[in-house]
């Protein structure tokens, strides 16, 4: 009887121990529970591998200093004006040519000659004004006759001319003045050349008093 009791008691202890072991195994064996997943680095926002990969690929493969904008600017040319650039007032001499009247018009060529040692160019219309002995302008600024400007290359000693024309005052009835000089300003220049005027009266106001200029063309010696 005693032996039977001991056998039953041993079986009960063994069953209890097995149950306890099974419970411990069930509680400690899982690594993918919610608590572990919440603290795993791979699941935190912004720390996923693709984000790191995108940042790396956005890095320029060529340093900015290698681009063309990093090159130093070319030095500006210095020295005397290049051959073929615009003729300046100081490089020119102006003279008034002979009148070639016709059909009630007075037509004078204004001739500019290159007195420098380089080739330069003239393009367009001159500026012009009749002035008295005190330098006061007589009449309004001349107008430009229709024309197509061309570039005239002037080697040293060569010339270009522009026509200055107006209606004969005795025919037009315009009021007149007798200028002391004609001021001629080369195209794109500010300083004029002074040409003595000895061709008589010019219209300064009233009917048919406009004075006209033509574009420069090749002149004597060109």
pLDDT attached to residue 157: 96
Please give the sequence-ordered ranges of beta strands (E in DSSP) within the chain, or none if there are none: 92-96, 105-114, 120-123, 127-131, 137-138, 143-144, 151-154, 159-167, 175-177, 181-185, 193-196, 202-205, 211-213, 217-218
Please report, in angstroms and rounded to a whole number, the separation of the first and last CA atoms in the chain. 150
pLDDT attached to residue 81: 52
pLDDT attached to residue 195: 96
pLDDT attached to residue 207: 81
Q: Which residues of the chain are under the pLDDT cut of 50?
A: 1-80
pTM, to two decimals: 0.62
Distance CA 17, CA 103 (A): 140
């Amino acid at each position: 009887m005693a032996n039977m009791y001991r056998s039953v008691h041993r079986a009960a202890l063994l069953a209890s121990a097995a149950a306890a072991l099974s419970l411990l195994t069930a509680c400690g064996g899982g690594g993918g529970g919610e608590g572990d997943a919440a603290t795993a680095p791979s699941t935190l926002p912004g720390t996923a591998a693709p984000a790191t990969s995108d940042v790396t690929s956005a890095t320029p493969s060529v340093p900015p200093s290698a681009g063309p904008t990093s090159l130093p600017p070319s030095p500006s040319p210095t020295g005397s004006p290049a051959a073929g650039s615009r003729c300046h007032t100081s490089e020119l001499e102006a003279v008034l040519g002979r009148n070639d009247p016709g059909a009630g018009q007075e037509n004078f060529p204004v001739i500019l000659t290159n007195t420098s040692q380089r080739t330069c160019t003239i393009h367009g219309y001159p500026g012009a004004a009749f002035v008295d002995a005190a330098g006061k302008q007589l009449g309004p600024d001349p107008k430009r006759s229709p024309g197509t400007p061309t570039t005239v290359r002037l080697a040293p000693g060569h010339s270009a001319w522009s026509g200055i024309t107006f209606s004969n005052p005795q025919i037009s009835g315009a009021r007149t003045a007798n200028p002391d000089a004609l001021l001629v300003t080369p195209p794109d220049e500010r300083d004029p050349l002074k040409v003595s005027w000895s061709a008589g009266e010019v219209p300064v106001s009233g009917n048919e008093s406009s004075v006209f200029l033509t574009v420069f063309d090749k002149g004597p010696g060109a």
